[in-house]
Structure 1
């Protein structure tokens, strides 16, 4: 019997598999398709991502340095409010390559990673779990002491073990123009109800356009309007769900959720790469596959890890829906040089950010 079967080889699943394998556990990872595909997630990340990757990975995955953002309250021609640093604050990266690299790290640590396996059933038993999946050789059942659901916002593991869903599932749309663009600012448009639209230059790899809306809104039309405003030619597009707001519980009797399945995401951007990997490390540290009670330790610990940033992130997101005069006043107050970390809203209250604010007056 294995210690863990992990369903999903995205950043959170592969990071957990690597950390758990390094701790001496027997780990099997099942991915439904080709690792990294289909692409349904932005490739704009904070510089912290390199801390989770092996030396030399940057040479393969890096696409562009980003120094700040231009926030618009209107379309592409509207006057922006600039937020910036004099050094890179984030990077555009090869998102598919990131998944492949993290899965390879898990394998090097001793985990077994299999793609082409679609999980169809999860059965929690007193002594372990049975995970049934359809793979290249037909239907197989895998036994383990615990199962980890890292299978995205519409998690099959979550449904099978009866855990609650995230508070929200937004509809996100991405599109890519492959014409090279080496600008060093992203564009953010607060023109989408309750969220925003974006444009991210990706160096030689082109430009990423995207937005997210609540269910029932016309995401395709809003996306078409966005790219038309920039007169962009979209060579490829994709879409997916973006979970916002963790469910009340993310662990079962012998199961746990990590990453998008647990809505371990930033409420103000929907990004979950770094939050999911941070939570994955917490899971590998706290969960003993022979002691089901340690699942509750993981539940408490990951919430402690992310709680403050997720709460403050929710307040930041609330600003997207403020009346336009309040938005304009806020933009004028905060635009300029910043000392804020894009993954940690708590840095809004750091000494460095306070000094930056005082320096503008």
Structure 2
């Protein structure tokens, strides 16, 4: 019997598998396809990403440095309101390469990472969890003291164990052009209903275009308008669900959710790589597979760390739906140098940000 079966080997699953294996636990990690594919997530992340990677990762994965964002209330040719920092605010990385790198770190730590395993059943018993998966050689059955559901926004683990759903699932679309662009600003368009669209320069790797919106919105139509506005040809289109709003409970007696499965994402951007891996670290520190009561400590720890950030993130997102004249006034008044951390909305009241605001006012 394993200590943990981890379902899903994206960044949260790979991170938890690595940390649990480093603590001496017997870990099996199952990925339904090939690790990193298909791509369904942006590669634009905060510079904190390098605290979660191994030696040489930056040289292998880095594509571009971003110092700020230009916000547009209209299309590509509308007025832009720039927000920037003096140092790199974020990095653009090889997103598929990140997944593979993190999975390899888990393997090196001693986790048994297996690809092409689609989990079909998860059954919780008093003293164990039974997991059934289909693999290259047919049906496989495993038992573990606990199971970690790291299997994305439409989590099979969550559904099988009847855990509550995220508050909402946005529909996101990504595509890429071959144009070389090493600009150090991303472009954000507040045109899609209740969310936004983006353009991210990736250096020699091309440019990423994306858009997200709630169900019922014609996402494809809005995305085509974005691409037409930039007058570019795109390829490698992909789409996926973006969970927003974690449920009140992400644990059972012997199971727990991490990452998109738990909607541990930023409400104002939809990004979840750093929140998911941060929560994976909390899980690895707090959960003892021989003591189911420790799952409560995980619930407490990740919420203490991220819940306030998420609450403030919801307030930021509300600004996307303000009337256009109000958006223009607000963006015009606030644009300029900032000291905000892209993963931490609470940094809006940090000394760094307040110093930047005062400097701008004096100027």
Question: Are 2:261 and 1:287 aligned?
Answer: no
Task: Give the conservation status (yes or no) of the 8 Å contact 2:29–2:112.
Answer: yes
Task: Give the conservation status (yes or no) of the 8 Å contact 2:6–2:27.
Answer: yes
Match of 2:112 in 1: 112
Question: Are 2:193 and 1:187 aligned?
Answer: no
SS at match of 1:249: coil
Deviation per residue, 1:256-279 (Å, 9 max, x gap): 000000000000000000000000
1:88: how far off? 1.1
Match of 2:37 in 1: 37
Deviation per residue, 1:231-262 (Å, 9 max, x gap): 01102100000000001110012100000000
The separation in 2 between residues aligned to 1:301 and 1:87, in whole angstroms, is: 31
The separation in 2 between residues aligned to 1:248 and 1:352, in whole angstroms, is: 33
Question: How many residues get paired?
Answer: 361
1:352: how far off? 1.3
1:51: how far off? 0.4
Match of 1:277 in 2: 277
1:157: how far off? 0.2
SS at match of 2:256: strand
Match of 2:46 in 1: 46
The separation in 1 between residues aligned to 2:263 and 2:235, in whole angstroms, is: 30
Alignment of 1:14-93 (within 5 A): 14-93=14-93
Match of 2:262 in 1: 262
Task: Give the conservation status (yes or no) of the 8 Å contact 2:193–2:217.
Answer: no
Deviation per residue, 1:151-196 (Å, 9 max, x gap): 0000000000110110000000000002211111000000011000
SS at match of 1:293: helix
Match of 1:147 in 2: 147
SS at match of 1:341: coil
Match of 1:123 in 2: 123
1:86: how far off? 2.1
Question: Are 2:177 and 1:206 aligned?
Answer: no
1:325: how far off? 2.4
SS at match of 1:304: helix
SS at match of 1:172: strand
The separation in 2 between residues aligned to 1:244 and 1:160, in whole angstroms, is: 20
Which runs of no fewer than 5 residues in structure 2 stay unpaired? none
1:326: how far off? 2.0
SS at match of 1:173: strand
SS at match of 1:342: coil
The separation in 1 between residues aligned to 2:277 and 2:185, in whole angstroms, is: 26
The separation in 1 between residues aligned to 2:222 and 2:139, in whole angstroms, is: 41
1:333: how far off? 2.1
The separation in 2 between residues aligned to 1:172 and 1:352, in whole angstroms, is: 32
Which runs of no fewer than 5 residues in structure 1 stay unpaired? none
SS at match of 1:266: coil
SS at match of 1:133: strand
Task: Give the conservation status (yes or no) of the 8 Å contact 2:84–2:336.
Answer: yes
The separation in 2 between residues aligned to 1:233 and 1:141, in whole angstroms, is: 46
Task: Give the conservation status (yes or no) of the 8 Å contact 2:72–2:187.
Answer: yes
The separation in 2 between residues aligned to 1:179 and 1:133, in whole angstroms, is: 41
Match of 2:136 in 1: 136
SS at match of 1:174: strand
Match of 2:7 in 1: 7
SS at match of 1:86: coil
Deviation per residue, 1:20-67 (Å, 9 max, x gap): 111111100000000000000000000000000012100010000111
The separation in 1 between residues aligned to 2:182 and 2:357, in whole angstroms, is: 29
CA RMSD of aligned residues (A): 0.7
SS at match of 1:212: strand
What TM-score do the two structures reach when normalised by structure 2? 0.99
The separation in 1 between residues aligned to 2:327 and 2:315, in whole angstroms, is: 13
